Chains A and B, each alone.
Chain A
Amino acid sequence: MKRSHWSIPYVVFLTIFVVLPLVLVLVYAFQDGSGHFTFANITKFFTDSDALSTFAVSIEVAIENTLICILLGYPAAWILANKDLNRSAVTIILFIMPMWINALMRTLATAELFNMLGITLGKGTLLFGMVYDYLPFMIYPIYNVLNKMDKSYSEAAQDLGAKPWEVFWKVTVPLSMPGVSSGILMVFMPTVSTFAISEFLTNNKIKLFGTIIQENINSSMWNYGAALALIMLVIIGISTLFTDERKEVEGGLI
Chain B
Amino acid sequence: MNGQYASLLVALPLISAFFVPLIKGLGGRAIKYYLTLITALQAGVAAWVFKTVYTTGKPIIVMAGGWRPPVGIDLYIGHFAALFVLIVALVSFFMAIFSFDSVSTEPTDKYAMLFLLLMLGATGMIATGDIFNLFVFMEITSITAYALTAYNKTGEAAEAAMKYIVLGGIGSSFFLIGITLIYGSTGTLNMAQLAQLAGSINPTVIKVGLSLLVFGLAVEAELFPLNAWAPDAYQAAPHPVTAMFSAFVVKAGLYALARLVYLFSHAAGWDFILKLLVIMATLTVFAAEFSALRQRDVKRMIAYSSISQVGLIALALSVGSQLGVQAGVFHMINHAVVKTLLFLTVGYVGVKVGGTGIENFSGLGRKMPLTAFALTVGALAAVGIPLFNIFWSKVWIIIASIEQGYAWEAGVVLAASVVEAVYYLRLIHTMWFGGWDGMRIRESLPLGTIALFLVLLILAIGVYPNPFWTLAKSAGTDIFNVSRYIANVPLMGVGP
Say if A and B assemble together: no
A-to-B contact residues, CB < 8 Å = none
B-to-A contact residues, CB < 8 Å = none
